[in-house]
Amino acid sequence: MKTFGITILLTSLLISTPVSAQDANTDKRVDRLEQEMRAVQRKVFPGGTGRYFEPQITADTGPASSGTTNTTSAVTDLIARVDALERSLANLTGQVEENGFRLKKIEDRLAATEAPVVSSTVTGGSTASGSTTAVAKKPAPEAAPDPKRVVGVAAIVMPETGDAAEDAYIYGYRLWEAKFYPEAQTQLKKMADEYSSHRRASYAQNLLGRAYLDDGKPALASVALYENYQKRPRGERAPDSLYFLSTALVQLGKKADACRVLAEMQDVYPDVASGRLASQVASGKTAANCK
């Protein structure tokens, strides 16, 4: 609403209505508007009376010089009061919109803060409306340990010969021999890491590769066996590791690589390849279809 529009409307009313009647009626209407505006301000901004609505403009209390002067003064006073109402309404509307925007931002922050943290989700089933729901993925429950296995592992005792490295290897060997492969893998890896310079480290790392093979894990076996050959080429079980490495490669479908490994074994360890491990080399070549 524009001020000049209100001014024209009020002027037309004043022209068509007697002065005494228009003063009384218009004053009442403006008073009512001002009271309603203050009520809104108190509702929206408690304690903020007078901050957004300018004080009421009153008419001059001095004696009037003539009827025309009174009429002009009354019109001017009403126009000023309506202008004040318009400004107050504009300010109030702006404050309401600004407060609404701030409240929306606060609500968004609270919603983000209170949202449950879900590390991973899976898509749930379709609802009646066809939408899908994200549900928290629950970790799979751990299988209860087999009592017989627990008793069997506990029955295997680590020897106490005074040589900690030797005892650690023998304990791992006994676990492997009893076919407790996961427990043997843990023990043998620990032994090879803690006593890497001991002569039994070559045995432990080689047996670790075999434990992986026996457990159906040729990829892990190939890593363990190759590391034993690479780190301990002079170790007592380095040639054996090359042979079992060729076996793991055959299981992985890499027969050409298996043949190369067996050829290197014969080149680096000719005595062992033609002696203690001769039959293994022959069977390995057959399995890998080596020429």
87-136, pLDDT tens digit by residue?
776 676 667 667 777 777 776 766 665 554 444 434 444 444 444 455 55
Fold classified for 147-288: 1.25.40
Q: Where are the domains of the chain?
A: 3-97, 147-288
> How many angstroms separate the CA atoms of 226 and 242, rounded?
7
**Is the four-CA dihedral 11, 12, 15, 21 of positive or negative sign?**
negative
**pLDDT higher than threshold 80 for residue 224:** yes
What is the reported pLDDT for 277? 96
Mean pLDDT of 60-68: 51
What is the reported pLDDT for 9? 45
What is the reported pLDDT for 180? 96
Q: Does the predicted TM-score (pTM) go above 0.75?
A: no
End-to-end distance of the chain based on CA atoms, in angstroms?
100
What is the reported pLDDT for 93? 66
For residues 53 and 88, the answer to whether their CB atoms sit within 8 Å is yes
